[in-house]
Amino acid sequence: MSSLVSSPIGAATAPALIVIGASLGGLRALRELLQQLQPEFSIPIAIVQHRYWDIQHRLMESMQQGVRLPLREVEDKDELQPGKIYLAPADYHLLVEPGSFLLSTDPPVSYARPSIDVLFESAADAYGQRLVGVILTGANHDGAAGAAAIKAKGGRVLVQEPATAESDVMPAAAIAQTCVDAVLPLSELATQLNKFCAASSL
């Protein structure tokens, strides 16, 4: 019954998807994180970045700067492909099903659309143990319930170290609500994601 014993991060099932949630200060954090991924990084990544009016339309271009992996704003029913980074479009929730994405215009969840919880909870349903969730900087509590859902389904959760985050509220909220697998600064988060990738391509 080894499933009850928490295994060291990276030793469990190789992840098939990484989901990332970020809010205030997220653009800079995301860029820093994504820039440090290896060029051969092959696990698909799905991101919810809360949109503020100023970055509503420029988000894609701003985020792609210096990031080698191709970024795509999700269109309904897009299939998950290795080595691609998917971004939730403005004003839609992003959800995951096994092998594909879907979008919805359901009402905002705790004022957010896209909502991190919506992405994380659906991804937890679809990928269970083969999912890694990452919570970055933010000034609200979105993602805390989603992180708990990921843990409940056997997935792993990494959180940006609150002291190193532009806004520590969101990472702290996730840590308070769930027993997360690791709390790390951005560069070490990147190292950890690269390790997951190496493990999944073994």
Partner 1 sequence: MDINSARTARPDLEDIELELLLEGLYRYYGCDFRNYARASLKRRIRKVLETEGLTQISALQNLVLHDAAAFKRMLLGITVNVTSMFRDPSFFLAFRQQVVPLLSTYPYIRLWHAGCSEGQEVYAMAILLQEAGLYNRCRIYATDSNERVLQRAQTGIYPLGLMQQYTQFYLQSGGQRSFSEYYTAAYDSAIFRSSLRENILFSQHDLAIDGSFNEFNIILCRNVLIYFDAVLQRRVHKLFHESLCRFGILALGRQESLRLSPYESEYEALVKSEKIFRRLD
Q: Which residues bind partner 1 (CB under 8 A)?
A: 1-3, 73-77, 89, 92-93, 95-97, 102-107, 118, 121-122, 125-126, 128-129
Residue 141 is among the residues annotated as catalytic for this protein: no
- Per DSSP, the three-state class of 19 is strand
Q: Is 23 a catalytic residue?
A: yes
Nearer to partner 1, 2 or 66 (CB): 2
Burial of 60 (0-12, 13-18, 19+ CB in 10 A): middle
| 68: its two tokens | 């080698």
- Count other Cβ atoms within 10 Å, centred on residue 146: 29
Beta carbon nearer to partner 1, 134 or 145:
145
| Residue (1 or 202) nearer to partner 1, CB | 1
Report the side by side order of strands in the sheet with 71-73.
71-73, 85-87, 45-49, 17-22, 131-135, 156-160, 182-184
Q: Is 200 a catalytic residue?
A: no
- Residue with structure tokens 């988060």? 189
40/106 with CB nearer partner 1? 106
Catalytic residue among 117, 141, 142, 167: 142
* Residues annotated as catalytic (active site), given as ranges: 23, 50, 142
